[in-house]
Structure 1
Amino acid sequence: MKFSYVNPTKIQFGQGQIASLSTLIPADQTVLVVYGGGSIKKNGVYDQVVTALADHNWIEFSGVGANPTIEVLDKAVAVAKEQSVDFILGVGGGSVIDGVKYIAAAATYEGEGWDILQGKHKVQTALPLGAVLTLPATGSESNAGSVVSKAATQEKLAFMAPAVQPKFAVMDPDVMKTLPQRQLVNGLVDAWVHTCEQYLTFDAGALVQDGYAEALLKALKTLGDNFANQDDAWRANLMWSANQALNGLIGAGVAQDWATHMIGHELTALYGVDHARSLAIIQPSLLRNQLDVKKAKLEKMGKNVFGLPESDDLAQRTIAAIEAFYHSLDVATQLTEHDGDKAKAVDTVVAQLEAHGMKALGENQAITLIKSREILEQAVA
């Protein structure tokens, strides 16, 4: 194993931590506060942010929705440039935080912002940013990745850059109390698949990474099994588990997959499927398609996470257990949003994968467009 690991994001975890914004952001900096549809004004988060920033000069930008679009985000970029903003604060879930990463990068770039997502501009500089997490799911609050959509062309692309790593993340589990149950389910599933993408590859003898990944999966499984019994501990454990699933630690020095995400992104862009639910649609079919190369880790997961006994079909039963876990949360594992035309849906997604250069996916780069087609044919109802 050869790797370089650093995570400079300062975590402020626990009840009442939003107040710490007063000292986390220098008082002489002009702050752009970015949030979504306004739910933070109903659950008290907005008022806490306003109180914490009482001694700061700040302006706000709202309306960043799920799967943030460049069409909306570019308006915030214009505000940041016009108002000479020094710091950007995202208050929301992964979509808002992904959005502020794009805003921070595009605000220091004079070209077209979509260049960043297409890889035409490599982000070297960005405005500093921080996050107040309101929905645990993506881990975006302490990593350097961002996913942004373009509504005009139904594209959803990602970029990574150390320059957009949040300076801090405020994580108060109390903010989850007013979240819709569907969003909590999505967060749990998203964190689960993030962990699997870094664990269900091939065994490299990474005892710490594998052991930590298994601990996260067992924690998430316990939270899912006790979904109806949400208390302070349940919320805190989900928020921390989702963060740890994608802060870079369990993926350090090991092979990573991410094919489920790449294919799932297309379902979200084309059919509006919730991000987490697009992953649940693709993952079981992908695991069955790639069974031969993933068998050893699937068997390990079956024994160490689900407690399944040794057998010749242990890997297959592990996939069935994953699928059953999703079903227990009322999360579908087949696409039904394609208006019933299966062949057309498969053709459309494969064409988008090809257009975006997704011709060799997975830890072995073995998921070709042909394999992606096979996976989709199994995943589309």
Structure 2
Amino acid sequence: MQNFDFHNPTRIVFGKDRLAELDQLIAADARVLVLYGGGSVKRNGTLERVLANLGERAVFEFAGIEPNPQFDTLMRAVELVRQERIDFLLAVGGGSVMDGTKFVAAAAPYDGNAADLLGHGFAGLPVTEALPLGTVATLPATGSEMNMGAVVSHQGGKWPVMSPLLFPAFSVLDPTLTFTLPQRQVANGVVDAFVHVVEQYVTYPANARIQDRTAEGILKTLIEVGPITLAEPENYEARANLVWAATWALNGFIGAGVPHDWSTHMIGHELTALFGIDHGQSLAIVLPSVWKARKNQKREKLLQFAERVWDISSGSEEERIDQAIAKTRAFFESLGVKTKLSQYGVQAHQIGDVVSALEAHGMVALSEQGDMTPEISRAVLEDAFSD
């Protein structure tokens, strides 16, 4: 096992009817900015309940954070924070709203050009302060409710934003708030959580048995409850397990002391930026082809994944790996998520645009071993294009 530090300060408030506790979670004299997206939290009553439970505090609203939150939009929120002397941010929504709120938290007290906060990747932001924030999560997918990371879109790219200062102080996870989500969003969320896990697990062995067994448990849970929560949107137990699985997929625990491979996410980000493909859909397209291209580098963990997650224990090594990849693809497709690039209207000649974007954004040494070149990324995309 590799050396690691593990620290996660986020308080999780989980279960039904917990919004009333917002009044105890935020200082009574706080000036609060509630940030949200396109209006679904208004239509389903969640925003009204949040505002009611903030009591007599000075409360302001910022609406319109997009899927794949845009830098320019977030900077308008930063202006409001500064103008109204906001001292607490509350994100109400899914991963994009939470990610955008984290960026606002870092950018609002920053003295320099906020665009300079983009481009630091996983190295962390050069900031010494950030506004405190909390979240009311309405979509199980990204794990942003319990981690220090975000992704912000700007000038055609998607930029990781990381800092220990961006852990939410608390996150309210009420599975009933997710009951009205469209099936497409739920399916994308299951895929996103699944891929978060395997990019910390299907790498190479580090003898991290606790992390491995936890990762395998999350994956098996997603396989079990994903189809149920799609078929039965108000099945509380299934949805509760999905919400908690998505949180644990990326709260730092299973990634402690083990190698990571975020190449599927980085390639997927470019597909979203260039073609508007949903984030979860982009991951379902890329992951099987990454594994096919990286069989030798990932062999031991792919075999472990095949046996422990998919119960595949017979056949040659090659056959077991191929079965595991096929089962993973079939799982994504069973959720209604297409897994080939051509199914989203992308043309073969546009693969070169994706590779160029990876190079332009500095994503030229992807993978857990830093050896996944642009040429390999091209081969991955060509394999992912069509059957």
Give your verdict on TM over 0.5: yes
Question: Which residue identity does 1:44 align to in structure 2?
Answer: G
Report the CA distance between 1:254 and its aligned residue. 0.4
Matches of 2:80 and 2:138, distance apart in 1 = 24
Name the structure 1 match of 2:136. Answer: 132
Report the CA distance between 1:124 and its aligned residue. 2.3
Residue 369 of structure 1: which of 356, 374, 377 is its match?
374
Residue 291 of structure 1: which of 278, 289, 295 is its match?
295
Residues 1:162 and 2:167 aligned together: no
Report the CA distance between 1:338 and its aligned residue. 6.6
Name the structure 2 match of 1:70. Answer: 71
Name the structure 2 match of 1:282. Answer: 286
Question: TM-score, with normalisation over the residues of structure 1?
Answer: 0.97
Q: Closer, same or farther in 2 for the Cα pair 1:314/1:78, shift >3 Å?
A: same
Question: Which residue identity does 2:26 align to in structure 1?
Answer: I
Matches of 1:322 and 1:105, distance apart in 2 = 37
Matches of 1:337 and 1:98, distance apart in 2 = 28
Name the structure 1 match of 2:248. Answer: 244
Name the structure 2 match of 1:107. Answer: 108
Report the CA distance between 1:341 and its aligned residue. 2.6
Residues 1:142 and 2:146 aligned together: yes
Q: Is the 8 A contact 2:226 2:242 kept in 1?
A: no
Report the CA distance between 1:337 and its aligned residue. 6.7
Name the structure 2 match of 1:201. Answer: 203
Give 1:321-340 correspondences, 5 Å limit.
321-336=327-342, 339-340=345-346
Residues 1:353 and 2:358 aligned together: yes
Runs of 4+ in 1 over 2 A off after TM superposition: 224-227, 336-341
Q: Percent identity?
A: 47
Name the structure 2 match of 1:178. Answer: 180
Query: Deviations for 1:197-230, whole angstroms, at most 9, x for unmatched residues?
Result: 0000011111100000000000000013433134
Say which SS state the counterpart of residue 89 (structure 1) adopts.
Answer: strand
Query: Deviations for 1:60-97, whole angstroms, at most 9, x for unmatched residues?
Result: 00001110101111100100011111011000000000
Q: Is the 8 A contact 1:117 1:158 kept in 2?
A: yes
Q: Is the 8 A contact 2:35 2:61 kept in 1?
A: yes
Matches of 1:295 and 1:136, distance apart in 2 = 30
Query: Deviations for 1:88-141, whole angstroms, at most 9, x for unmatched residues?
Result: 100000000000000011101132222111239612211111100000100001
Name the structure 1 match of 2:304. Answer: 300
Question: Which residue identity does 2:362 align to in structure 1?
Answer: G
Say which SS state the counterpart of residue 90 (structure 1) adopts.
Answer: strand
Question: Which residue identity does 1:109 align to in structure 2?
Answer: Y
Report the CA distance between 1:340 and its aligned residue. 4.7
Matches of 1:293 and 1:14, distance apart in 2 = 41
Matches of 1:330 and 1:33, distance apart in 2 = 33
Question: Which residue identity does 2:140 align to in structure 1?
Answer: P
Residues 1:58 and 2:62 aligned together: no
Question: Which residue identity does 1:94 align to in structure 2?
Answer: G
Gaps of 5+ in 1: none
Matches of 1:225 and 1:173, distance apart in 2 = 16
Say which SS state the counterpart of residue 118 (structure 1) adopts.
Answer: coil
Name the structure 1 match of 2:37. Answer: 36
Query: Deviations for 1:327-350, whole angstroms, at most 9, x for unmatched residues?
Result: 11121111137745312x111011
The farther-off stretch of 220-229 and 132-141 is: 220-229
Matches of 1:268 and 1:123, distance apart in 2 = 28
Q: Is the 8 A contact 1:66 1:95 kept in 2?
A: yes
Say which SS state the counterpart of residue 118 (structure 2) adopts.
Answer: helix
Name the structure 2 match of 1:253. Answer: 257
Matches of 2:361 and 2:104, distance apart in 1 = 22
Say which SS state the counterpart of residue 342 (structure 2) adopts.
Answer: coil
Question: TM-score, with normalisation over the residues of structure 2?
Answer: 0.95
Question: Which residue identity does 1:252 align to in structure 2?
Answer: A
Say which SS state the counterpart of residue 179 (structure 2) adopts.
Answer: helix
Gaps of 5+ in 2: none
Question: Which residue identity does 1:353 align to in structure 2?
Answer: L
**What is the RMSD of the two structures over their aligned residues, measured on CA atoms?**
1.3
Q: Is the 8 A contact 2:120 2:160 kept in 1?
A: no
Q: Closer, same or farther in 2 for the Cα pair 1:371/1:72, shift >3 Å?
A: same
Matches of 1:340 and 1:219, distance apart in 2 = 33
Report the CA distance between 1:158 and its aligned residue. 0.6
Q: Is the 8 A contact 1:124 1:161 kept in 2?
A: no
Matches of 2:369 and 2:163, distance apart in 1 = 24
Say which SS state the counterpart of residue 3 (structure 1) adopts.
Answer: coil
Question: Which residue identity does 1:360 align to in structure 2?
Answer: A
